[in-house]
Structure formats: C-alpha cells, structure tokens
Structure 1
Amino acid sequence: MTYSDSTRCVHSGLPAPQIGAPVAPGPVLASAYHLDPEGYVTGRDGYGRPDNPTRRILESAIGELEGGDCLVYASGQAAITALLLTTLHPGDTVVLPSDGYYQVRVFAAATLADLGIDVIEAPTAGPYPSFEGVRLVLLESPANPGLDVADIRAISAVAHEAGALVAVDNTTATPLHQRPLELGADLVVASGTKALSGHSDLLLGYVATRDKSLLEGMQRWRNLTGGIPAAFDCWLARRSLSTLALRLRQQAANGAAVVATLRKHPAVSAVRWAEIAPGIVSFELDSAAAAAAFLGASKLVAAATSFGGVHSSADRRHQWEDNVPSGFVRLSCGIEDTSDLVADIETALDASMG
C-alpha cells in the first residue's frame, strides 16, 4: 500500500512491532558492545563508529523518503565532503552550482583544486557547459539562497549520455517536495540540520543513492574518517522527522502569505520563491541598513543563518557571500500562525524604510 506524506514520516524506518518493546525506540548510546568471546561476528554491533542501531533507524527512515539507501553524517558539509572526495579523483572534472551553498565553492577552491580536480561553476538556471569529460555534476535545486530551480530530469539525461554522475542537494525542497533519484539523479545529498529535523537543535547531513558501489565507498569513507552523528542527535532527528509533513504544510501556508505581503510592500524591490521549497522566501531591500532595521524590528523573525526550523528566521546573506546584493534577505517561515507572522513582517518592513 502506498501511504501519504504524514503517514510515511511517522512510520518510516521503525522496526517491526514486538510485544513489550517501545512503539518509538529510544536512543542507543553506546561506543562499545559486548563481543562474542570467540571473536567479532560480522553483522553484529561491535564498535560505535561503524555500528549504531539508532543511526540505522534514521538512515532507513530517510532512505524510504528519498527512495534509496541512506548514510547519515555529522553535518551537511560532512555529507557533501564525503560525496565529493569519494566520487572524484585527481584529473577529474566537477561542475558545481555557482549560486548554491557558498561553503561548497570554498571547499572546492581550497581542497579540490589542490587535489588536481578541475572545478567548473554554472548557475542553477543555466546555461550549462558541455558535460563531456566531466565526472560529476552537482546540482542544488532550489538553489540557496536565490531559489532558482534546475530541470533535474533533463540535466541528468544529458550528463549520463556524457558519462557523468549527477548529485542533487535536496536541502531546500526535502524529499516530500522532490525526489531527485526518481528524476534520474545518481545521488542525493542534504543538510538534515534544516527542515528535515526542523527544530534548530542539531547538526546532521545525509547522502542517499541506489548505487551500491557508490554507497559502499561513502560508507568506507565515513568509517575511516569518523564523520558520524551522535546517537542522541540521530534519535532527535528521527523523532522530529515524524512531524515533517505537518511542519511543511504550515510553513508553506506562511510562505505563500508572506510572498503576497512582500510583493505589494514598497520597501521590497524583488521577491524570489519556489513552490517546491515553499517555506523559504528571498527578497531584496534597499541596503544592508534596511535589512538590519527589518531584522531589528521584527518580534517573530529571529536573525539567524540557518533555515527550515519551527521558528521563523531571516539572514542578510551579503554578510556571508558577496554574490548577492547588500540588502538581500533569505527568510525562513516557521510554524507560527499565519496572521501573526504576516502582521509582524509588515511592521518590520515599515520600520526598514526609516
């Protein structure tokens, strides 16, 4: 039977019911497990870095939502680092989004280039270079913070014809609004710190794929480099995942109402919004001072650099990356009542005009 989003979020990854066992298993906090005195038995938990049942439950849950096998990492950056350094080798070429998460470009310039990997940047909305001779095409759709959207299916077809792998950063859309593996991508990577866990209380990343060899390579990398999330964080993330569909519905309603408000307010010169990431809205004010005034005047929107949480937050992106205007604001709608959030944002926008 095919279940709908809320049902899948609540039940994905949970073990089969057992009489006397908890309906929702608690975290297994263990660095060491009892071993067979005769020696280690393959397939049984032996040491906390490669083995943890709480982590496996979370991986199973995310894998069900993304439609592939999943590995979780200590952060989104750890996940994308594992993906890049296990799929790329000296002499390879990678295409990265020029308008995606800026730390990936920083990592590419600081590390990939030093390893002899050629880096090409292309905007999410295109145009794209020829993929001949390219090993990996990394897409981020919708892009962060500009929210441009890529045609994953079409780009994957062209990339595969040229012999390239395709990975998609699915952080902004989440697997409830977009399943890149079903659109032809080979890998999905995301920050679970954001909407997936949604409570601004943990760091997490993951990679999902249907390719066994790619998965095994990233698992070896994780085991050897130790970039695992703590068991308690995995438990928190799985608990939070149960409400993902509910949270996204309220964030989407808030996003639509906020977009309507922004588009008619004289302080706002441009608005960006993508329907597959409906809780995130980017807009432009006249200056950095106007953005600061907006953030200072709001009572409900926290000045914070993450997104996807239950509390609304906003970030003036120019303070981190210089390829956006100084008054560019990325707003993440929380789950506050829509009328309260809209009224607060209108008041803050009025204040931004001096």
Structure 2
Amino acid sequence: MTDPDASLAFETRAIHAGYDPDPTTGAVIPPIYATSTYKQDGVGGLRNGYEYSRSANPTRTALEGALAALEGGAHGLAFASGLAAEDAILRALLRPGDHLVFPNDAYGGTFRLVDKVFKPWGLAYTPVPVTDLAAIEAAITPATKLIWLETPTNPLLNVADIAAVAALAKSHGVLVVVDNTFASPYLQQPLSLGADIVVHSTTKYLGGHSDVVGGAVVTDSDDLAEKVRFHQNASGGVPGPFDSFLTHRGLKTLAVRMDRHCDNAEAIAAHLSTHPAVSQVIYPGLASHSSHEVAARQMRRFGGMISVRLRGGEPAALDAVARAKIFTLAESLGGVESLIEHPARMTHASVAGTDLEVPADLIRLSVGIENVADLIADLDQALA
C-alpha cells in the first residue's frame, strides 16, 4: 500500500506503507536499488522521476512513504543521520539574524550543531525549559522564527505540552519542530498536536537494531517539505539504498518492539524507585514525574528511556556503568539490546560548562527487549 488508508491501525501501516508488491516479480519487500544513476528515455525523459540517487532512489522512496504514513504526515524525507536532518531543517527555515527558542536540556549533538555551527553563522538562540510555557513565550522575540522541542528530552526526560506550545507558537507566527526520537511515532504524534515538523534520528527506535544510522523529517506542509527537500538534494546528506532498506525493515516491527521496551522500562522504573542506591528515577510513567499528566495525555505509553540519579554521586555513576553486564556501556539508544551510559562524560560532554550541563550523578538507561528479570538482576548487581 503505497498510500495506505489513514484509518488503518498503526501496526498495519507500519508493515504495508510505502511500497506495493513489485509488479514484475511480486516481491513483497522493496528491493535494494544499488544504483547511482538511471537510464533516461531521451533527454529529460525520466522513468518515474528518477535520474540520480542523491535526488531520489526507489528504496529510499519506499522508506520515505512509510515514515510519512507512520507520523501521519503528507511528506517524509530520509537523511543520512538525525543531525543531517536537523541541519537541513535549520538551513531551510532560518537565516542569519533569526532567533531560535531551544530546550535547556537538549541532546548534546543538537546543541553542538546550534551553538558551534549556526551561532557563528548568525543564528541566535535562547535555552528554555520545555515544560515552562511562560518561559517559552518570554523567550520569543520579533526575530524568532522557530521553537525547537524535544519531548521527552534527552537525557532528563522532561515532557513538553506539544499542543499548548503549538498554540502559543501559532499566535506569534512561529513554527514548531518536535524531535520525536525518544517517543517514536508509535507512542506520540506531534503533527496531530499542532507541530509543523517532526524530526527523528532513525538510528534509534525506528531502525531499532543498532545496525544503521539515519534521520528523518516529516511534515504536512507542502511549502516546508519543498524547502527541506531542496536542502536534502543540494547538500546531499541522504541515506544510501542499503541504509534505507535496513531502516524500512526496522519500521515494520516498531509497534511490537515499543510495547516490549515500555513493558520492561515500566517494571525497571518501579524497581529502581525503591533501590537504596538511587536518589531519583526520572521516567514519565511514574506518578512522581513532574510532567506525568502531560505525558499520559499525549503519549500512548511512556517509552523505554530511564534516567537515574545515584546517592553516591559521580563515582557511583561511573562504577555502575562499568559493572553492568547485560546493559552494554555504549552511546545511542533505541535498539533491541539494553544500553547504559554516563551522559555527562559521554553523549552530553559537549554541553559541559554551559546552561545545559547534565548532572554528574546521572546514568541513562536505554531499556531493551530482553527478559526483564535478567535486566533487573543486572542493575541490582551493578548498583550493589
């Protein structure tokens, strides 16, 4: 179903969207079109619009159709990485002198892109808590063109009220971009809540197997899609056919994987909440979370990411990540295997010494789909 009925359930669209069985062979999975160029039937006589694989490739086209369908958008664009997708959005929509409202606990790579690449280019930005609507409004200036949200944020798992921020932005004539990587489209649909653009690192839950790097942009706006697509082609940060194939394959099992991620994370969050070595468990599914009600309203479930602060401070955090066995010490997240990391020294080292600095006593868990009893036992011995 290249253009599936929007009334179909998410799980059905995840499997069928973006591709119809091949009319020649009947292949039910999109082929890997390992080609850089395409024969033209006379000058300018393109077959289905394909001329060069930086501009379009049939394997990528299938992925982009599936991405759009799962986010409920009209246009999906695939990129070589999540940061390539973010870079294309910022270049397409902003100009020197413009202003961006930005999370005060954003992913370190996104902060690095904004602060080290776009700030010297002439972009101004103001970090704000994504949970504070008044602070967001106070940060808006006549030069503000865009509000950038992560929700839940990385790694402090703050949850923005997307609908409220989108309504505020609309009243000021400002666009809203939502990084939906932590939630995935299975758990949260930002476009339906009023966001203008959704961005993903497809490396994470969408690919789901820690074997491919990629990014995505989804929007309902023809105008925004055209602007981002121009930069996708002009800058060339696109995934190859093999990467597109792997990401599309991962999408097909997103729903069943996310349910297991959530099952395991909910059990682990509850267990760690009473652990003597733990001072705080940060997980939107806990009633103690400051934005639990917002998360319950706009998310199907609460995701597979947990952040934990330890009573023993940074030494205890470093010891725990070193002692874990099933939880692999590694950056990234969203794969079938469980990962553990120390954000202050790893994924968020680039924000050290800034307003976005991460607590040194914090560890981040990407809860996989292993047996939950094994995962809990591993955390217990790591924290002992």
TM-score (structure 1 length as normaliser) = 0.95
Aligned CA RMSD, in angstroms, stands at: 1.6
1:205 corresponds in structure 2 to 215
**Alignment match of 1:158 (pick from 168, 186, 194):** 168
2:13 corresponds in structure 1 to 8
Deviation at 1:19, TM superposition (A): 6.5
Deviation at 1:132, TM superposition (A): 4.4
Tell me: CA distance 1:42–1:224, structure 2 relative to 1, closer, same or farther (3 Å). Answer: farther
Counterparts of 1:306-325 in structure 2, within 5 Å, are 306-319=332-345, 320=349, 321-322=351-352, 323-325=357-359
Counterparts of 1:185-334 in structure 2, within 5 Å, are 185-275=195-285, 276=299, 277-285=302-310, 286-319=312-345, 320=349, 321-322=351-352, 323-334=357-368
Deviation at 1:123, TM superposition (A): 1.3
1:79 aligns with 2:85: yes
1:62 aligns with 2:60: no
**Alignment match of 2:125 (pick from 105, 119, 122):** 119
Give the SS at the match of 1:318. Answer: coil
Give the SS at the match of 2:344. Answer: helix
**Alignment match of 1:18 (pick from 4, 17, 23):** 23
Deviation at 1:16, TM superposition (A): 5.0
Structure 2 residue runs of 5 or longer lacking an equivalent are 286-298
Tell me: CA distance 1:217–1:42, structure 2 relative to 1, closer, same or farther (3 Å). Answer: farther
CA shift digits 1:89-122 (9 cap, x unpaired):
1221111111111222222222222222221111
The one-letter code sitting in structure 2 at the alignment partner of 1:251 is H
1:136 aligns with 2:130: no
CA shift digits 1:252-277 (9 cap, x unpaired):
11101110111111111111112444
Percent sequence identity over matched residues? 39
Deviation at 1:284, TM superposition (A): 0.8
Tell me: CA distance 1:24–1:288, structure 2 relative to 1, closer, same or farther (3 Å). Answer: same
Work out the CA distance in 2 between the residues paired with 1:15 and 1:255.
Answer: 35
**Alignment match of 1:96 (pick from 102, 105, 117):** 102
CA shift digits 1:47-99 (9 cap, x unpaired):
11102000010000010010111101110000001101110012211111111
CA shift digits 1:22-58 (9 cap, x unpaired):
1112211110111223444384211111020000100
Work out the CA distance in 2 between the residues paired with 1:38 and 1:99.
Answer: 51
The one-letter code sitting in structure 2 at the alignment partner of 1:82 is A
CA shift digits 1:286-331 (9 cap, x unpaired):
2332122212222210001101110000110110243122121110
Work out the CA distance in 2 between the residues paired with 1:219 and 1:247.
Answer: 30
Structure 1 residue runs of 5 or longer lacking an equivalent are none
The one-letter code sitting in structure 2 at the alignment partner of 1:312 is S
How many pairs does the alignment contain?
Answer: 350
Give the SS at the match of 1:208. Answer: strand
Aligned partners of 2:82 and 2:215 also within 8 Å:
yes
Structure 1: which 4+ aligned runs deviate by more than 4 Å?
A: none
**Alignment match of 1:176 (pick from 186, 191, 198):** 186
Aligned partners of 2:21 and 2:29 also within 8 Å:
no
Work out the CA distance in 1 between the residues paired with 2:137 and 2:367.
Answer: 35
Work out the CA distance in 2 between the residues paired with 1:42 and 1:210.
Answer: 26
Work out the CA distance in 1 between the residues paired with 2:23 and 2:239.
Answer: 27
Tell me: CA distance 1:339–1:157, structure 2 relative to 1, closer, same or farther (3 Å). Answer: same
Work out the CA distance in 2 between the residues paired with 1:257 and 1:108.
Answer: 36
The one-letter code sitting in structure 1 at the alignment partner of 2:368 is G
Aligned partners of 1:122 and 1:129 also within 8 Å:
no
Aligned partners of 1:288 and 1:316 also within 8 Å:
no
1:35 corresponds in structure 2 to 40
Work out the CA distance in 1 between the residues paired with 2:193 and 2:44.
Answer: 45
Deviates more, 1:269-278 or 1:249-258: 269-278
Work out the CA distance in 2 between the residues paired with 1:106 and 1:39.
Answer: 41
TM-score (structure 2 length as normaliser) = 0.88
Deviates more, 1:2-11 or 1:260-269: 2-11
Aligned partners of 2:203 and 2:215 also within 8 Å:
yes
Aligned partners of 1:132 and 1:163 also within 8 Å:
no
CA shift digits 1:125-145 (9 cap, x unpaired):
123243342210111111010
Tell me: CA distance 1:160–1:235, structure 2 relative to 1, closer, same or farther (3 Å). Answer: same
